Structure 1
Amino acid sequence: MQKFPLYLGASAIALTLAGPAFAAESADELQKRVDNLEATIDALRSEIADIRKQPEFKPSPNFTTSSGDYAFKFRGQIAADAAFFNVDKGTNDYNDGTQLRRARLGIDGTIQKDWLYRLEIDVGSASRDDSASGEIDVKDAYLQYKGLEEHTTITIGQHKTPNTLEQAISSSDTLFTEIPLFVEAFTNRTTAGGDYKAGVSAKYSDVNWTATLGVFGENYSINGGGNSGGTATTVYKDEGWGPAARLTWAPVNGVTETLHLGVSGYWRDTGGRTTGLRFRTGPEVSVDSTRLVDTGNIAANDYSFAGAELAGQYGPIYLQSEYGRTDVDRVTGSDVSFDGGYVGASWVITGENREYKDGAFARIKPKNAFSLAKGGWGAWEVAGRYSTLDLNDGNIAGGKETNYSLGLNWYPNNYLRFLVDYVHFDAKKSGIQNEGDAVITRVGVIW
């Protein structure tokens, strides 16, 4: 703020000294001087505005220049879970307990308007590819360019592969605490082809449709580090790689009515792995890491995934469903394939609906934030889901699992959410049945 008086003083002196000179100049020269002086004053005003500008808090600091060319903000989320199990069949001793599911810290930035960057890490011990409680897990680490034309972005670095609607939805916006069975099995980044991986992709996004195409290697946490990146005990010859793509279309895209259609897929070369390709998942409860269905390690030359998406909303009613299949070209023996799908639905009791943008749905934002003083109660939602996965084919008996889930979600405001899920799981593998129930609670903070 010390610059402000200096600017005013300099401007006053300039005007005073310019007076005698103006008399001796022609009208054109005088007008030119006036124009230059006005331009200088405008520039000073802009600089003063930048000096005075305070960071915006929503709820974390967001710094943006008045021109919008440069910006910087903090981002992150915390998700803390607790789960309790009841065993009907089987001998598994599931963990009743708590877990820091996510503890993400990150930054977003803009450089000269056209360049964007993001770095986000997860320090929670429950990141699904963690192999040690102290691991720092890199999520996003990329540079993005959007100066080609209005609707196109190019992304270079580690970011989400364009596979499935559930993966496209932010982890802070999902309908249930955990993603469906087949999505977890076919897009796990240490044992399958999706999730966060290093690569380059291009995305075109309009009001009604999106198209994304990219080529991806491995996750940064396992590049050049042997087995340090996760639970897989794989010896790598070369880094696995392959293309991935997603296409979405919303023939109906209004404020409260949406119809979403989509397809996605990937093909990946295994990089010469003799073991390590593996599809597996648990009871859709992250607190316990028990895998109820599991193919074991598969020696493969390459493998692929294809999925279809159908989702939509009509006011407070929301529907989300997907089907996916993966095919494996094995080194020895016949090729195998596995598939799965889910159907989920919800009703927002308080009447809100989800925002739809860039081929994905966001979490509920309450019309009236919770406040005892003002009488607001936030937004309330009830949800249900049917989820299934079949990992049996040929001589691979990975098992088959079917889950039924019910959920109650409370959104006190735009940045907090409380979830309570009930899951009934029923898995059969090699003649052994594991059936039971789980209740999971989550407290989430997003900024």
Structure 2
Amino acid sequence: MNKLSLYLAASILALTTAAPVLAATPDELQRRVDDLEATVDALRSEIADIRKTPEFKPVPNFTSSKGDYSFKFRGQIAADAAVFDVKQGATDFNDGTQLRRARLGVDGTIEKDWAYRLEVDVGNASRDDSATGEIDVKDAYVQYKGIENTTITLGQHKTPNTLQQAYSSTDTLFVESPLFVEAFTNRTTAGGDYKAGVSAKYSDINWTATLGVFGENYSINGGGNSGGTATPTYKDEGWGPAARLTWAPVNGVKETLHLGASAYWRDTGGRSSSAIRFRTGPEVSVDSTRLVDTGNIAANDYSFVGGELAGQYGPLYLESEYGRTDVDRITGSNVSFDGGYVGASWVITGENREYKDGAFSRIKPKESFSLSKGGWGAWEIATRYSTLDLNDANIYGGKEDNYSLGLNWYPNNYLRFLVDYVHFDAKKSGVKTEGDAIVTRLGVIW
């Protein structure tokens, strides 16, 4: 076929294709133009998705152009070192180091309304106390956020108890939780921390309300209802409701006043013969020695109630809590234990904490540490008094008082260095243990 023939064929094809367009009404032409523009916009969006590179803060964070889907890695490392000086008592504490946490996880969103998170801990000291060789499941849940100001969570997540539990472990003022929080919300021996369940949280600018029902915790090692052991020693899990209510009558950028209350009630399930145990150490987890300990208490059920008061005024920060547990024993009279703490800090470099959803976050420095640019990060000094009484009726778990002083350095948003001095003073069954400890922590968050 010569060039003239090709030209004639192409011209005929063009005229044939154009004929319907030339014959179309103005409305039809406009509709076709609109369809063409919509197709072009869709193609542009798809190209943008293909070209879009993940955001790094400081790990890859993948988000679709419309924000319907997202995926990111998350995790933290907390490495501790501690030395002890025992002034009274026969306890020989371990001077040494510990990988307190080594968490790896992912979270993301699906069509905006749904979210998910899976996070495990491979740090030796964070494993379930009654298990060996365990990968410890922390968060493992799905959330629905399609209702305004409301989040419904199904799976393993934190029970809504105490201000300290509401914090991320990366945001706490000191290396370890106060005495009563560790004793009354320990997930292997009591009713708090990470447990499988369902909860609903309503959150407004000034207040939050959370209510849930929780069983016990998962365990990759099997037997989640037996605290992680390979073969459960009982068949029925403990269970019960938990709730927390917070109100911030003052909620400004630099001035905040927080009031809160939380509670739980738990049926002990199939382990009522050795149902619960309240205990804690010197607020230093490098050594696992417990200075106060009720031992196993046979109980039908038990409950907790606690109050919270916290606030900040610029770089000044205050937090305090009181908590009490009541135990319905199978034999003997019912018993109660209580404890509390008060802590304060001053950010030397002037930063303040962000307050959101009934909790305060860690300090984020105005300027990151940099020798070349002259930034020094954020510096904070803190102090805390903590007390716990585990004596009642014929239960002689002991009483402990701790005094702590801390220095915290935040080089940037993802690193922190903590140094705590802790003076512990405990007395159990007439035996007194008193001493000092210095503990340091290197924390990395992503």
Structure 2 length normalisation: TM-score?
Answer: 0.94
**2:436 & 2:291 partners in 1: Cα distance?**
13
Provide the residue aligned with 2:415 in structure 1: 416
Q: Is the 8 A contact 1:130 1:137 kept in 2?
A: no
Q: Is the 8 A contact 2:216 2:224 kept in 1?
A: no
Q: Report the secondary structure of 1:375's partner residue.
A: coil
Question: How many residue pairs are counted as aligned between the two chains?
Answer: 431
Q: Is the 8 A contact 1:123 1:134 kept in 2?
A: no
Mark the CA change 1:312 to 1:24 in structure 2 (over 3 Å): closer, same or farther. same
Q: Report the secondary structure of 1:29's partner residue.
A: helix
Provide the residue aligned with 1:249 in structure 2: 247
Q: Report the secondary structure of 2:417's partner residue.
A: strand
User: Partner letter of residue 160 of structure 2?
Assistant: P
Provide the residue aligned with 2:308 in structure 1: 309
Q: Report the secondary structure of 1:274's partner residue.
A: helix
2:263 equivalent to 1:265: yes
Q: Is the 8 A contact 1:223 1:239 kept in 2?
A: no
Q: Is the 8 A contact 1:152 1:204 kept in 2?
A: yes
Which ranges in structure 2 are unaligned for 5 or more consecutive residues? 1-13
**2:328 & 2:41 partners in 1: Cα distance?**
66
2:368 equivalent to 1:369: yes
Q: Is the 8 A contact 2:327 2:335 kept in 1?
A: yes
Provide the residue aligned with 2:289 in structure 1: 290
Mark the CA change 1:84 to 1:38 in structure 2 (over 3 Å): closer, same or farther. same
**1:302 & 1:118 partners in 2: Cα distance?**
31
Provide the residue aligned with 2:47 in structure 1: 48
Task: After TM superposition, give the deviation of residue 129 of structure 1 in Å.
Answer: 2.5
Task: After TM superposition, give the deviation of residue 150 of structure 1 in Å.
Answer: 1.7
Q: Report the secondary structure of 1:213's partner residue.
A: strand
- Aligned-residue CA RMSD (Å): 1.8
Q: Report the secondary structure of 1:23's partner residue.
A: helix
2:205 equivalent to 1:207: yes
Q: Report the secondary structure of 1:126's partner residue.
A: helix
Q: Report the secondary structure of 1:297's partner residue.
A: coil
User: Partner letter of residue 353 of structure 1?
Assistant: N
Provide the residue aligned with 2:103 in structure 1: 104
**1:226 & 1:446 partners in 2: Cα distance?**
30
1:52-71 to structure 2, matched below 5 A, reads 52-71=51-70
Which ranges in structure 1 are unaligned for 5 or more consecutive residues? 1-14
Q: Report the secondary structure of 1:332's partner residue.
A: coil
**2:83 & 2:305 partners in 1: Cα distance?**
34
User: Partner letter of residue 118 of structure 2?
Assistant: L
Provide the residue aligned with 1:115 in structure 2: 114
Task: After TM superposition, give the deviation of residue 25 of structure 1 in Å.
Answer: 1.0
**1:132 & 1:194 partners in 2: Cα distance?**
18
Deviates more, 1:125-134 or 1:38-47: 125-134
1:24-423 to structure 2, matched below 5 A, reads 24-127=23-126, 129-132=128-131, 134-147=133-146, 149-221=147-219, 224=223, 227=226, 229=228, 235-272=233-270, 273-423=272-422
Identity across aligned pairs (percent)?
81
Q: Is the 8 A contact 2:298 2:331 kept in 1?
A: yes
**2:229 & 2:362 partners in 1: Cα distance?**
30
Mark the CA change 1:18 to 1:318 in structure 2 (over 3 Å): closer, same or farther. farther
Q: Is the 8 A contact 1:263 1:308 kept in 2?
A: yes
Q: Is the 8 A contact 1:234 1:275 kept in 2?
A: no
User: Partner letter of residue 182 of structure 1?
Assistant: F
Q: Is the 8 A contact 2:129 2:188 kept in 1?
A: no
Q: Is the 8 A contact 2:121 2:135 kept in 1?
A: yes
Provide the residue aligned with 1:12 in structure 2: none
Task: After TM superposition, give the deviation of residue 135 of structure 1 in Å.
Answer: 1.5
Q: Is the 8 A contact 2:217 2:224 kept in 1?
A: no
User: Partner letter of residue 357 of structure 2?
Assistant: D
Mark the CA change 1:108 to 1:25 in structure 2 (over 3 Å): closer, same or farther. same
Q: Report the secondary structure of 2:125's partner residue.
A: coil
Mark the CA change 1:250 to 1:32 in structure 2 (over 3 Å): closer, same or farther. same
